[in-house]
Structure 1
Amino acid sequence: MHATRLVTILLLNALGVVLFLSWYLPPEHGFWFGVDKTIFFTFNDQMVAHPGFALLVAITNFRGFDLVSLLAMGLLYLSFWRRETPQGRRKLLAIGITMLLTAVILNQLGHLIPVQHASPTLFFDNVHRVSELTGIPAKDASKNSFPGDHGMMLIIFACFMWRYFGSRAFLIAAAIVIIFSLPRVMAGAHWFTDVAVGSLSVVLVGLSWWLLTPASDAVVNWFYRKLPGKYKPQV
């Protein structure tokens, strides 16, 4: 591995660790708590003042709405799939499987962090639950919201798009991250820092060793060779 690549990985690891410790070490999470509280109550108050906004928050936090985020990611992936040769599509399938396995494993590792953190709707008293305001069974609470698993999956997708499809694909994927992680924060199912600190710090540390080394390519190539199909390469 090139020395510059190793330095980049170490810097990303340091950034991830510092980001996490800036939240974890200070009493009551330091300045982050003020940021979280302001963001939560801003959205929480708006849901009461504007019923239409509450309805939007409820719909975007309904479990079935997760399919929309999957559709957005799928359409971006499809845009590359349509341009590829059969062999290229086989490679895209291998990348997709590797990405899915990475997301599952990294999410499980992220939840090994010794932090038990209830969502703001369970932490604060006298708050408004969007499910109660609208009658829609939306996800608006979590007994352990750190790190944000939904946000982490989206960030991992964006990083894979950058690694294998370039900066333009990454920018589109980054927009998907913001659009589809924001509803959980608006509903109070997650603190802002569950995603901006928790999910991001795990990805910075874990995914840098995976995507900036030959590791992910090795797994992608293994799937490319081993998956059944008409265009399976001859060894």
Structure 2
Amino acid sequence: MRTRFPLILLLNAAGVALFMSWYLPENHGLWSTLDLAIFHFFNQGLSADNLGYAWFLAIINNRAFDGCALLAMGGLMLSFWLKEDPDGRRRIVVIGLVMLLAAVIINQLAQNLIPVTRSSPSVSVPGVHRVRDFIAFSTKDGSRDSFPGDHGMMLLIFASFMLRYFGRRAFLISLVIFVAFAFPRVMIGAHWFTDIAVGSLTAVLIGVPWVLLTPVSDKLIGLFARNLPHFTKMNRAIK
């Protein structure tokens, strides 16, 4: 992969423009109206008379449900891994490692460099209900620092790697995974819609192109493939 500077700069500019469209207007302009409308749409159903809805939101925001996201992503990569020879399977594992490394670095940079700290709607909007008001169940229904959405950011980075290394069909499937596992946080009020639609997407548009549209990811994959232990050889040595 040669460095594709025009496309990188275009995506970076789109990320900056997206962020500024939210950051510069007073009280975030129309984004705030959209945020509140989406939050109240989902929050209005929380009541003592509708415990089934509260349980549903609690379950899809439990840490175990986050594990289902990992299973979905792993299952998608496994579908490609099963079709490969040993060298191809090793490369897919290495791609996963590089993706994880990139996700951790981009997430940390975004959390530290984006000049925004705000609480989730379930914490900051007065007079609203939280899931914990009705049921005692371990779930994430609020945050004191919800921007940018790290959960959505990780899923978008996964989708970007799927597009780069596995094609459009894998990318479309990964977008379905993104929606299924990122937006429950919006439904329960642990994130504003723009924590993901602006915060997560901004970080990905600015950070990911410098990994995937330059030789960085390919070189890291090659480096890891050359230096990580080869499990087939290790198994033979043990035997």
TM interval, short-chain normalised:
over 0.9
1:63 positional shift: 1.6
1-side partners of 2:21 and 2:231: how far apart?
52
2-side partners of 1:145 and 1:153: how far apart?
14
Equivalence for 1:53? 53
Could you tell me whether the CA contact under 8 Å between 1:131 and 1:139 is conserved in 2?
no
1-side partners of 2:96 and 2:19: how far apart?
29
Please tell me the residue identity of whatever aligns with 2:92. L
2-side partners of 1:144 and 1:83: how far apart?
42
Does 1:163 find its partner at 2:164? yes
Equivalence for 1:193? 194
Cα RMSD after superposing both structures:
1.5
Aligned residue pairs, count: 231
1:55 positional shift: 1.4
2-side partners of 1:63 and 1:122: how far apart?
20
1-side partners of 2:193 and 2:23: how far apart?
14
2-side partners of 1:213 and 1:52: how far apart?
48
Find runs of 4+ consecutive structure 1 residues off by over 3 angstroms: none
Equivalence for 2:40? 41
- Per-residue displacement from partner, 1:121-178 (whole Å, max 9, x unpaired)? 1111111101222221210110000000001000000100110000000000000000
Please tell me the residue identity of whatever aligns with 1:53. Y
Equivalence for 1:135? 136
Please tell me the residue identity of whatever aligns with 1:39. I
Residue range with higher mean Cα deviation, 50-59 or 145-154: 50-59
1:231 positional shift: 5.9
With the length of structure 1 as denominator, give the TM-score of the two structures: 0.94
2-side partners of 1:124 and 1:205: how far apart?
30
2-side partners of 1:127 and 1:137: how far apart?
19
Does 1:31 find its partner at 2:30? yes
Q: How does 1:12-161 map to 2 (within 5 A)?
A: 12-48=11-47, 50-112=50-112, 113-161=114-162
Equivalence for 2:237? none
Could you tell me whether the CA contact under 8 Å between 2:2 and 2:215 is conserved in 1?
no
1:230 positional shift: 4.9
1:2 positional shift: 5.8
1-side partners of 2:33 and 2:130: how far apart?
21
Residue range with higher mean Cα deviation, 25-34 or 129-138: 129-138
Please tell me the residue identity of whatever aligns with 2:223. W
Pick closer, same or farther for the CA change 1:135–1:224 going to 2, 3 Å: same
Please tell me the residue identity of whatever aligns with 2:110. G
Question: Among the aligned pairs, what percent are the same residue?
Answer: 55
3-state SS, counterpart of residue 155 of structure 2: helix
Unaligned stretches of 5+ residues in structure 2: 234-239
Could you tell me whether the CA contact under 8 Å between 1:73 and 1:176 is conserved in 2?
yes
Residue range with higher mean Cα deviation, 133-142 or 18-27: 133-142
Could you tell me whether the CA contact under 8 Å between 1:120 and 1:141 is conserved in 2?
yes
1-side partners of 2:52 and 2:166: how far apart?
38
Equivalence for 2:236? none
1-side partners of 2:10 and 2:70: how far apart?
31
2-side partners of 1:115 and 1:160: how far apart?
27
2-side partners of 1:79 and 1:137: how far apart?
32
3-state SS, counterpart of residue 206 of structure 2: helix
3-state SS, counterpart of residue 105 of structure 1: helix
